[in-house]
Chain A
Amino acid sequence: MTPENNAGRRNLLKALAGIPVLGALGFQVFRQMKYNDKHNLQKQIIKELGLEDLMASVKPIKESSGDLIRLGIAGFGVRGPQLAAALGFMEKSQFANALENGSLDAQIKYGNFNIAITGICDVFDLHAEKGLVTAQHDIHTQGEFAGKHPVKRYRHFHEMIADKNIDAVIISTPDHHHAQMTIDAIQAGKHVYCEKSMIRREEEISKVYDAVKNSKLVFQMGHQIPQNAVFQQGKEIIRRGLLGKISQIETCTNRNSKDGAWIRHLDKQGNPKPGDTRSIDWKQWLGSSPDVPFSIERYYGWARYFAYDTGLFGQLFSHEYDAVNQLLGIGIPTTVVSTGGQYFYKDFGDIPDVMNTNFEYPDKELSLTYSANLASSQFRPRTIYGKDASMTIGAQLTVTPDGSSERYAGMIEKGLIDPSSPMLEILKVSDTMEAVDAVSSATTRYYASRGLTTTSIDGQEWDVTHLHLKEWLDCIRHGGKTSANIDKAYEEGVTIAMADISYREQCRTHWDPVNRKIIRAS
């Protein structure tokens, strides 16, 4: 070999010096991938628990189609505009905001229901006008569609339900109108979507139940949680018995703001919000409740008064109860005891701020508790306690094995799972939660933490209320059973009435299933 050749070869080797390094890196990456795969605990745990097919329990979302449905909305204060937005109707400025933060992406792409809002009914001029503007702006058609279907304001609910141009109604008024409005609408032949809580007093429950049951119309209560994908997976985990025998369920409310305690009559600057006897039909607003002079505190903060609501029970426990009843089908309790008091916001209304209620189900061998506090926002999850594992379920789901479980003893011994931390976590893959933390109020965060705002299905972010309304509309068009149907509403109504009576009359309440009556015991 000539020296020249030798030098050429050396230069070539120098030029290729990086190749072995690249090879070494490739080999190490391969080794690490193999290691990670073998040690992927989550994969192993899911296999051991037999949950590889868990995603199949999530209801797929199909496009809605069918003839036009014309809706009337009664009550356009707080919840009314939210429901309209979930249907795709919002004011232009609200639409621009929603477009920017991406919260409407799935709804705009896939959520055209072919509906029109043709009626708005509100006793307050300002709210009614807001409703009229909102109803004319459909996000799918940018207002063109709404022009074809003029929207009308009705001063009385009876006028709206008598109109042939309305097919179905949404009731988002204060709670003391819900029962009678539902009955009247059903009798007028309209489908009903009614916000919680359905009842204020025991005697209303059977009347609503009979009216809906005796009709062929579709009824849905405003409990959107069954539409949450996390919730559907939780239901499947329970159905497969992964928690073992369930003996106790803990539900809670923790909020710590005036807004969260429904003291809402002042604006951010501390001035009274708009509204007086000229712009509000106060007599109609009061309805069948006791006659009192106009009060701005009552108008905006009705949820604080037993005259119009059942307070924490109707407003927040109703969602907790519905979640548990949808998961476990527990139905009506045998006995309820409720105690608490107005310990913090003493100047407004008569509902308690702190409340502890026990619901006993001896036939099902389990106990449900509801503990609420409107003066502390310390988070407490919704927890289901089983012999083998406990589940927390809200915006996300965790399943933690019990240290004394025989079922999981083997897995614990192998070191696969550990009773001090969850063996299964289903997190909602979403950056909306971060958006919620950054921009929204404490009340919005509360609802998000309970799983009541958004869900992620097939990589799309959905408003659960949108999906819940969709289910109602799909059932109107094609038949089928709604999730929050009248049977569920009846069970909830009785349960809430039992708790409400127990608190207000300071007694233990029993359910008489034969005569379908609540009995007071001292």
Chain B
Amino acid sequence: MNNYSKWQTTLLVALRMLIGWHFLYEGIHKLLHPQWSSLGYLAEAQGILSGLAQWMISNANVLNTVDFLNTWGLTAIGLGLILGLFTRIASFAGAGLLMLYYLMNPPFIGMAPSGPMEGNYLLVNKNLIEAITLLLLAAFPAVQRYGLDSLRKNHKKKS
């Protein structure tokens, strides 16, 4: 457990909180803009999940549910990562959500992005990197020591 230097642990925890910040703000932004909808994004979906995306936008009730789950999912994952509460679950959930985004619009050959992008990608993009980073955090239990999980675990140990 104490195999990491302070420097290594600090950087891992900082990484966890930065990704948490990113998730939480994405969630808050959508909450503050109730007119936001994933309709536009899903309508542009390409590749293996485009059928799923089409189904999601085919019906207003499904779309509303998707929007609700996405907004609150992002918010909950963000809170979990920043506070270090249920960190492993939040990490896996976050990675899953990012992989979903990745596969909805993958930077594969022959799948040109529909809108302007802030960079150029081939197979690898920031969604993929962030997803793998979350898995990496889940693989290092040390990051959980800086967070509410440590209280949960201590409590469990004591009781």
A residues near B (Cβ < 8 Å) are 11-12, 14-19, 21-22, 25, 29, 33, 102, 431, 434
- Out of A11, A12, A17, A25, name the residue touching B21 (CB < 8 Å): A25
- Out of B82, B150, B151, name the residue touching A25 (CB < 8 Å): B82
- Out of B82, B85, B148, name the residue touching A21 (CB < 8 Å): B82
Given the known interface contacts A14-B145, A431-B39, the answer about A21 and B150 at a Cβ–Cβ threshold of 8 Å is no
- Chain A residue at smallest Cβ distance from B83: A18
Q: How far is the CA of A265 from the CA of B122 in the complex (A)?
A: 51
Please determine whether B24 and A15 come into contact, CB atoms closer than 8 angstroms.
Answer: no
Q: How far is the CA of A18 from the CA of B24 in the complex (A)?
A: 13
Interface residues of B in 113-159 (CB under 8 A from A): 145-151, 154
Please determine whether A21 and B20 come into contact, CB atoms closer than 8 angstroms.
Answer: yes
B residues near A (Cβ < 8 Å) are 13, 17, 20-21, 24-25, 28, 32, 39, 43, 60, 79, 82-85, 145-151, 154
Q: At the interface, is chain A mostly helix, strand, loop or mixed?
A: helix
- Chain A residue at smallest Cβ distance from B148: A15
Please determine whether A18 and B32 come into contact, CB atoms closer than 8 angstroms.
Answer: no
- How distant is B116 from chain A, measured CB to nearest CB, in Å? 19
- Chain A residue at smallest Cβ distance from B13: A17
- Out of A11, A18, A102, A431, name the residue touching B84 (CB < 8 Å): A18
Please determine whether B25 and A25 come into contact, CB atoms closer than 8 angstroms.
Answer: yes
Given the known interface contacts A25-B25, A33-B32, the answer about A14 and B146 at a Cβ–Cβ threshold of 8 Å is yes
Q: How far is the CA of A29 from the CA of B82 in the complex (A)?
A: 15
- Out of B28, B43, B60, B82, name the residue touching A18 (CB < 8 Å): B82
Given the known interface contacts A25-B24, A29-B25, the answer about A15 and B82 at a Cβ–Cβ threshold of 8 Å is no
- How distant is B58 from chain A, measured CB to nearest CB, in Å? 9
Please determine whether A22 and B146 come into contact, CB atoms closer than 8 angstroms.
Answer: no
- How distant is B96 from chain A, measured CB to nearest CB, in Å? 22
Please determine whether B84 and A15 come into contact, CB atoms closer than 8 angstroms.
Answer: yes
Q: How far is the CA of A16 from the CA of B148 in the complex (A)?
A: 6
Q: Count the A-B residue pairs with Cβ separation under 8 angstroms: how many?
A: 49
- How distant is B29 from chain A, measured CB to nearest CB, in Å? 9
- Out of A18, A29, A434, name the residue touching B148 (CB < 8 Å): A18
Residues from chain A with Cβ under 8 Å of B145 in the complex:
14
- Chain A residue at smallest Cβ distance from B9: A14
Best-surrounded residue of A16, A18, A19 (most CB of chain B within 10 A): A18
- How distant is B40 from chain A, measured CB to nearest CB, in Å? 9
Please determine whether B20 and A17 come into contact, CB atoms closer than 8 angstroms.
Answer: no
Residues from chain B with Cβ under 8 Å of A22 in the complex:
24, 79, 82-83
Given the known interface contacts A25-B24, A25-B25, A102-B60, the answer about A15 and B17 at a Cβ–Cβ threshold of 8 Å is no
- Chain A residue at smallest Cβ distance from B147: A18
- Chain A residue at smallest Cβ distance from B57: A431
Q: How far is the CA of A18 from the CA of B147 in the complex (A)?
A: 6
- Chain A residue at smallest Cβ distance from B32: A33
Q: How far is the CA of A22 from the CA of B43 in the complex (A)?
A: 34
Best-surrounded residue of A22, A29, A33, A434 (most CB of chain B within 10 A): A22
Identify 14 new A-B residue pairs, CB closer than 8 A, beyond the known A18-B147, A21-B20: A11-B154, A14-B145, A14-B150, A15-B149, A15-B151, A17-B147, A18-B83, A18-B84, A18-B85, A21-B17, A22-B24, A25-B25, A33-B32, A102-B60
Residues from chain A with Cβ under 8 Å of B82 in the complex:
18, 21-22, 25
- Chain B residue at smallest Cβ distance from A17: B146
* For the complex of A and B, 6 pairs with smallest distance between CB atoms: A18-B83, A17-B146, A18-B82, A15-B150, A15-B151, A21-B17
Q: How far is the CA of A11 from the CA of B155 in the complex (A)?
A: 13
Please determine whether A15 and B20 come into contact, CB atoms closer than 8 angstroms.
Answer: no
Q: How far is the CA of A29 from the CA of B25 in the complex (A)?
A: 8
- Chain B residue at smallest Cβ distance from A16: B148
Residues from chain A with Cβ under 8 Å of B79 in the complex:
22
Please determine whether A21 and B21 come into contact, CB atoms closer than 8 angstroms.
Answer: yes
Q: How far is the CA of A506 from the CA of B73 in the complex (A)?
A: 70
Please determine whether B32 and A17 come into contact, CB atoms closer than 8 angstroms.
Answer: no
